[in-house]
Amino acid sequence: MSIKYALELLSGKPLEALNALSPSELLKIDEIRLRVNRPLSLSVGGNDIVMSGVTALPEDIEHTFKAAFSYSMHSYSKELSLGYITAAGGNRVGICGTAVSASDRFSVDTVKYISSVNIRIAREIKGCADGIMKNCFSGGLCGLLVVGPPSSGKTTVLRDIARQLGSKYKLSLIDELNEISATHRNAAQNDVGCLTDVFVGYPKHIGVSTAVRVMSPRAIIADEIGSEEDCRALEFALHSGVKLITAVHGESLEDARKKPAVARLIGEEAFKYAAELTPSREIRVVGID
């Protein structure tokens, strides 16, 4: 279980406090947040709970931070500069502190004096895309656009689509932020299908182009498209005979059409269906003319 791996990153009073909870209580935790010399807090079902009397000491922060990075920060310099890493079990560990800026001052080289650590518990919801699979893929592979506002479950849906389609077809998963596969070192912590090849950390347009050239996928799955570079790479894949399954921010399909890159792909008949998601995680499948 992901919560078990999360507990392995903790020490001191925070660990004692969580070990005192029942298994059912632990399974409800979405986030564990440590702030130096301040109380431990948990996110449970969208609510923030402060654990009064359980203070995260500097040594607790240091332990969790170093454990998440496998005590080898130099090996994860990119992740450190981005402010997060995917740890064992697929949990995402985010950090904040004092940034050390690159020479151009437009990017971050690294982070020092870590003041907060957030462990986001990884969860798969297998079967959440069953309706999409029935309505869109019962006749075989096709292009699909998943549309939804933030926190509507787009990434969760893409993960389950990858799991189900990736058991039948060769897929390339372009997981730029490592949110779909939750790859730790060279192994996906989430089930993304036995025939799925995962590209982690690649800028989306580079990952898409590379996948088409070297992995001969039947379909490509990519999250959060939007830039002109993304569009050109997806067009390259489409013209190479690869089906596109991707997601975009939007309240509806009509809202998504306002984005030039999406409108262009729709105009090229890249997508047969759209799956509209709502903040309450409802899914509506519509055909795209």
pLDDT at residue 219 in the model:
98
> Nearest Cα to 259, choosing from 286, 234, 285?
234
Place of tokens 């005192």: 20
Mean pLDDT of the chain: 92
pLDDT at residue 103 in the model:
67
Q: Where are the domains of the chain?
A: 2-120, 130-287
For residue 51, what pLDDT band results from cuts at 50, 70 and 90?
very high
**Does residue 109 register a pLDDT over 80?**
no
Rounded to the nearest 10°, the torsion over CA 222, 227, 230, 232 is: 150
Domain 130-287 has CATH 3.40.50.300: yes
Contact by Cβ (8 Å): 191, 126: yes
Name the DSSP letter for residue 89. G
For residue 123, what pLDDT band results from cuts at 50, 70 and 90?
confident
- Stated length of the chain: 289
**Does residue 1 register a pLDDT over 70?**
no
Contact by Cβ (8 Å): 172, 218: no
**Does residue 226 register a pLDDT over 90?**
no
What percentage of the chain exceeds 90 in pLDDT?
71
Q: How large is the average pLDDT for residues 114-119? A: 95
Q: Is the pTM of this model over 0.75?
A: yes
Higher pLDDT, 102 or 230: 230
pLDDT at residue 105 in the model:
66
Pick the CATH number of 2-120 from 1.10.1200.10, 3.40.50.300, 3.30.450.90, 3.40.50.10800: 3.30.450.90
pLDDT at residue 106 in the model:
67
